[in-house]
């Protein structure tokens, strides 16, 4: 098969965003700001798509842009302009020396810049160098440049340009007749182009894929990719893609279908496009294919004319393969004309070129295969080293993870040991506190029992005896004659006896108030506070009875706090407040006395007893004291059992 592939040189990223249907001056003016500075990148992008349909205009634009970039002293823009100029010389003029010159200029500028854009530009320059080397048959250098380009593309992380290099590598494998690998790289090119939404490279890769499939004899699979290229060419007004479609499809009809009239029609369509593009290389390729189609279709004169044109351009471009084809067609036409002398000379020249081409192709293919072999060896070595490096990394990570796990385990064990020790200490402290609380509770219970017994004994025993004495004394007085002094003493004795009985009752009452046992805290505390003129009592909340021990404890605490305020605070007013809620009870004793400094004054026996009583019931005691008085607040949580009691 003589299908034609498309090598792609890179000019800039992205696709153009505008049509080129405007003059050079208006295009540059459109991208010039108020300060007169031209946006060179935008002008280059606008020019890219018209490198084939308006090559003269594009060349004019690029030459002007190079001058503008030099005046603006913009190294990045100038490098991009040089790069685009090199692409134009390669793709349109087939002037590889000029293309290489401008690409070298671009590379030198990119090397002076340390930016992502410069790295991307350098990668595209390497790609273009590889393309030029590939066209010149320098496959080893081409591969080297392509690999460098791919590495730089990977470094920048931009996958949009990889399809360009993959397409050219596909054509390299096609030249080496390794069509499976050519197919592989062409499919990768198409896949990445679809991901990047790059229709241009999708169409370009489709042409390479079509060639690889046809060379493998898979003709039915080869036509759809060609249709993709045609659709793109028509949609984007890209005559070059349309030209390649007709050229490849014409050769398909001629070599595979043997439909020579239809092949001629397709190639004549390509002829008009080749002339409009103005690319001598493509004109030569087209005339070479058209001459064979004309001869196969027995149109000898047209075949000779096309072959002669291909031969002239082939000599200029030093294309030996196209010269050999042209001479062969011309020899066969002259043989049909019976001009055997000319036919012999042309056929002899064709054979000489064929031998030369055979040797050169063998050398090139051998060099290419050797390059592929060395490249694959290098890639395998790099892959092995990379795997080894990855292994070391994973071993290091695994070792680090194991060390971290061991360290974490040690830390956890250490913390667990500390937690256990703290827990043991807390349990010891709690047991000691429980022992103290049990002792305090037992003391309180014993005190309450003793107070109850003493109060009962005083009230029922001594109180009753004093009452009997008082009752009998008036009778004794009635039967005796007493002096006035004795009468006075007698009355005094009776008064003192009354006072003793009252004091005895008061003491007995305070030791264990009967109202507390009968009526609860509210009544007993109200009686107690009412008996002292400067004490006010306030009760809030429920009046539900509490456990007897708790009520006695609260009563004793308030009794002690009021007595302390009376003895030490020099207070003129004492306020007692009791708040009872379903789940807790609290009381406050507040005075307006002199207060005390908690940092310097130690707690006395009375306050320590109160604190012990409160702690025995898991309560909280807070003291607030200043020069304006003292406030002592106690809060107790009620358990469910205490709530129901």
pLDDT value of residue 632:
92
pLDDT of 201 > 80? The answer is: yes
Q: Which of 72, 107, 138 is the last residue of a domain?
A: 138
Does residue 114 sit in the same domain as residue 172?
A: no
- Could you give the CA distance from residue 436 to residue 78 in angstroms, rounded to a whole number? 93
Residue 121 has pLDDT above 50, yes or no: yes
Residue 589 domain-assigned (yes or no): yes
Report the b/e string of 421-445 with b at 16+ CB within 10 A.
eeeeeeeeeeeeeeeebeebbeebe
Mean pLDDT of 120-138: 84
Lowest mean pLDDT among 44-53, 117-126, 196-205, 313-322: 44-53
Tell me the CA distances in angstroms from 284 to 133, 210, 278, 508, one per residue in order. Answer: 20, 22, 11, 136
Asked if the structure places residue 356 within a domain, the reply is no
Total domains present in the chain: 3
What is the rounded CA–CA span in Å between residue 461 and residue 565? 33
Residue 257 lies in a domain: no
| 121 and 167 share one domain | no
pLDDT band at 304 (very low <50, low <70, confident <90, very high): very high
The region of weakest confidence among 188-192, 335-339, 386-390 is 386-390
Beta 574-580 vs 629-637: how paired, if at all? unpaired
Classify the C-alpha dihedral 239-330-326-179 as positive or negative: positive
The token pair that represents 45 in the structure block: 């992008």
- The least confident of 322-336, 384-398, 441-455, 562-576 is 441-455
Say whether both 565 and 639 belong to one domain: yes
Query: Could you tell me if 65 and 180 lie in one domain?
Result: no
CA gap 229, 61 in Å, rounded? 28
The CATH number given to whatever domain includes residue 192 is 1.25.40.10
In this structure, is residue 597 part of a structural domain? yes
Integer Cα distance of 622 and 632 in angstroms: 6
Residue 476 lies in a domain: no
Task: Please report, for the domain that includes residue 118, its CATH number.
Answer: 1.25.40
- What is the token pair recorded at 334? 């002259």
Residues 25 and 64 in one domain: yes
Q: Within this chain, do residues 595 and 541 fall inside the same structural domain, yes or no?
A: yes
Residue range 157-172, pLDDT digits in tens: 777 778 888 888 888 7
> Position of tokens 């010269």?
323
Same domain, 114 and 30: yes
If asked whether residues 56 and 131 sit together in one domain, one would say yes
Q: Tell me if 77 is assigned to some domain.
A: yes
**326-364 burial, b for 16+ CB within 10 Å, e for fewer?**
bbbbbbbbbeeeeeeeebeebbebbeebbeeeeeebeeb
For residue 153, what pLDDT is reported? 81
- The CATH number of whichever domain residue 551 belongs to comes to 3.30.565.10
Residue with tokens 């025993």: 461
Question: Of 173, 196, 229, at which residue does a domain stop?
Answer: 229
Does the residue 62 lie in any domain?
Answer: yes
Instruction: Establish if 123 belongs to a structural domain.
Output: yes
Q: For residues 469 and 438, is the Cβ–Cβ distance under 8 A?
A: no
Residue 565 to residue 591: CA distance in whole angstroms? 7
Which pLDDT score, from 0 to 100, does residue 295 have? 92
Task: Check whether residue 521 and residue 633 sit in a common domain.
Answer: yes
Domain residues for 133?
17-138
> Are 123 and 202 found together in one domain?
no
Q: Which residues contact residue 142 at a Cβ distance below 8 angstroms, ignoring those fewer than 6 apart?
A: 130, 131, 133, 134, 168, 172
Residues 631 and 537 in one domain: yes
Single out the residue in 209, 229, 249 at which a domain terminates: 229
pLDDT tens per residue across span 363-405: 555 556 556 656 656 666 667 777 788 888 888 888 888 888 9
> Mind giving me the DSSP string for 17-77?
SS---S-HHHHHHHTB-TTS-B-HHHHHHHHHTTTTTSHHHHHHHHHHHHHHHHHHT-HHH
- Mean pLDDT (the chain) is 79
Predicted pLDDT of residue 1: 40
Residues 122 and 181 in one domain: no
Confidence of residue 494 (pLDDT cuts 50, 70, 90): low
571 Rama class: left (phi>0) / alpha (psi -120 to 50) / beta? beta
């Amino acid at each position: 098969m003589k299908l034609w592939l498309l090598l792609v040189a890179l000019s800039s990223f992205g696709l153009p965003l505008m049509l080129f249907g405007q003059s050079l001056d208006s295009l540059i003016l459109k991208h010039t700001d108020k300060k007169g500075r031209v946006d060179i990148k935008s002008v280059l992008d606008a020019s890219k798509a018209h490198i084939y349909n308006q090559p003269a205009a594009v060349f004019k634009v690029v030459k002007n842009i190079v001058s503008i970039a030099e005046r603006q002293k913009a190294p990045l823009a100038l490098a991009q302009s040089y790069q685009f100029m090199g692409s134009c010389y390669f793709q349109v003029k087939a002037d590889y020396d000029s293309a290489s010159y401008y690409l070298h200029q671009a590379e030198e500028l990119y090397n002076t810049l340390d930016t992502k854009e410069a790295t991307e530009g350098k990668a595209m320059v390497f790609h273009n160098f590889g393309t030029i080397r590939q066209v010149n048959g320098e496959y080893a250098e081409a591969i080297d440049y392509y690999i460098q380009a791919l590495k730089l593309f990977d470094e920048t992380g931009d996958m949009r340009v990889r399809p360009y290099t993959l397409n050219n590598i596909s054509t390299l494998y096609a030249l080496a007749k390794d069509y499976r690998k050519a197919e592989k790289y062409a499919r990768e090119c198409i896949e990445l182009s679809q991901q990047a939404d790059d229709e241009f490279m999708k169409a370009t890769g489709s042409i390479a894929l079509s060639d690889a499939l046809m060379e493998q004899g898979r003709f039915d699979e080869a036509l759809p990719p060609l249709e993709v290229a045609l659709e793109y060419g028509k949609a984007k007004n890209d005559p070059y893609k349309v030209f390649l479609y007709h050229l490849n499809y014409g050769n398909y009809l001629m070599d595979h279908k043997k439909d020579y009239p239809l092949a001629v029609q397709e190639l004549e369509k390509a002829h008009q496009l080749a002339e409009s593009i103005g690319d001598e290389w493509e004109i030569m390729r087209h005339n070479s294919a058209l001459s064979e189609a004309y001869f196969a279709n027995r149109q000898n004169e047209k075949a000779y004319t096309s072959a002669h044109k291909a031969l002239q351009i082939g000599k200029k471009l030093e294309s030996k393969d196209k010269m050999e084809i042209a001479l062969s067609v011309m020899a066969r036409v002259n043989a049909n004309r019976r001009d055997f002398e000319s036919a012999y000379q042309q056929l002899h020249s064709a054979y000489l070129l064929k031998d030369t081409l055979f040797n050169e192709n063998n050398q090139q293919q051998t060099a290419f295969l050797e390059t592929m072999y060395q490249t694959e060896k290098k890639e395998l070595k790099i892959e092995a080293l990379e795997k080894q490096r990855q292994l070391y990394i994973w071993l290091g990570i695994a070792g680090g993870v194991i060390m971290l796990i061991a360290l974490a385990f040690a830390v956890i064990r250490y913390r667990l040991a500390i937690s256990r020790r703290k827990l043991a200490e807390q349990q010891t402290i709690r047991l000691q506190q429980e022992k103290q609380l049990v002792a305090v509770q037992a003391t309180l219970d014993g005190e309450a029992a003793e107070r109850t017994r003493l109060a009962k004994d005083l009230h029922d025993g001594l109180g009753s005896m004093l009452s009997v004495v008082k009752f009998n004394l008036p009778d004794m007085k009635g039967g005796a004659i007493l002096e006035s002094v004795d009468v006075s003493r007698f009355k005094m004795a009776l008064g003192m006896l009354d006072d003793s009985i009252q004091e005895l009752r008061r003491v007995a009452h305070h030791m264990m108030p009967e109202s507390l046992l009968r009526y609860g805290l509210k009544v007993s505390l109200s009686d107690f506070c009412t008996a002292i003129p400067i004490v006010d009592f306030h009760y809030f909340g429920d009046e539900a009875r509490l456990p007897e021990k708790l009520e006695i404890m609260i009563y004793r605490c308030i009794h002690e706090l009021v007595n302390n305020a009376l003895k030490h605070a020099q207070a003129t007013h004492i306020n007692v407040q009791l708040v009872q809620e379903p789940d807790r009870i609290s009381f406050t004793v507040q005075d307006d006395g002199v207060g005390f400094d908690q940092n310097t004054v130690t707690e006395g026996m009375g306050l320590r007893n109160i604190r012990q009583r409160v702690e025995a019931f898991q309560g909280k005691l807070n003291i607030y004291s200043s020069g304006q008085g003292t406030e002592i607040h106690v809060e107790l949580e009620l358990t469910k059992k205490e709530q129901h009691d």
